Chain A
Amino acid sequence: MKNNVKITRVKMGITQQQLSQRIGVTRQTIGLIEKGEYNPSLQLCVSIAKELNKTLDELFWEVE
């Protein structure tokens, strides 16, 4: 599933390591989500959206 996590994270100046520590997952998991190789649970999607100050729609909905 493609998404806007990487673009949003980079715009906010946060590293994968920092984001992963804030939401309690590994850096590898963030990398896999950003690459669209792992579909996170709804709970994890919400945690990422909260941390990046975005809605679920903005991060995960129908990314081209």
Chain B
Amino acid sequence: MRTWISFLLPEDEYKEKRVLHFLSEGSIILLISLVSLFISSRYLHFFQIDLEFALFISIILFLGYVFLRYIYSGMEYTDVATEGTYKQELKKTFRGTCLFVGTFTLVYLVFEGIPNNLNEWIETIGLPLTCGLVWYFFSFVSIKKSYKKNKELL
């Protein structure tokens, strides 16, 4: 089927179908939230939200929903079906996360300079470390879900 959204979709037929479902569900939820926001701003004068905040919430709602559905579907790591590949993938993700945190911190130090005190060090390392932890957490959930699903399909 020809559609301009093809570039966003996976090549695998099953994955493509599921991702399309997630995008559709996300769109419906986004539409409902936008209609709700419109009604509240038009008729509920005691419930007013800043425009910028409303737009931000809408974007996060859509992206967050699609992302979480994808992570929890267990279809990101399609080849993780044995304990060996599961552990291997976890190690690979851990190494990738460490590399990301290290590179991020290094680039930050190059542009911002060496921190002078403990607080500045915490600020410098805090952001990449938090990003790394969040990234690892979601990757871990995705790998675990994929492993569980794939194991049942063997």
Mark A residues whose CB is within 8 Å of B: 16-17, 24-29, 31-32, 34-35, 38, 40-41, 44
Contact = CB atoms under 8 A, between A and B. Distances in A.
B13 A28 contact: no
Nearest to B10: A26
* B: contact size bracket: 10 to 19
B153 interface: yes
A57 to B, nearest CB: 21
B41 to A, nearest CB: 43
Interface of B: 11-15, 75, 78-79, 81, 146, 149-150, 152-154
Given A24-B11, A28-B78, A35-B152, 13 more contacts: A16-B154, A25-B13, A27-B79, A28-B14, A28-B149, A28-B153, A29-B13, A29-B14, A29-B15, A29-B78, A31-B150, A35-B153, A44-B13
A10 to B, nearest CB: 12
Q: Which of A17, A27, A35 has the most CB of B within 10 A?
A: A27
Contact of A25 (B14, B152, B153): B14
Q: Which of A27, A28, A35 has the most CB of B within 10 A?
A: A28
Interface of A is mostly: helix
A44 B14 CA distance: 10
Contacts of B14: 25-26, 28-29, 32, 38
B12 A26 contact: yes
B153 A32 contact: yes
Contacts of A25: 12-14
A32 to B, nearest CB: 6
B78 A27 contact: yes
Contacts of B152: 35
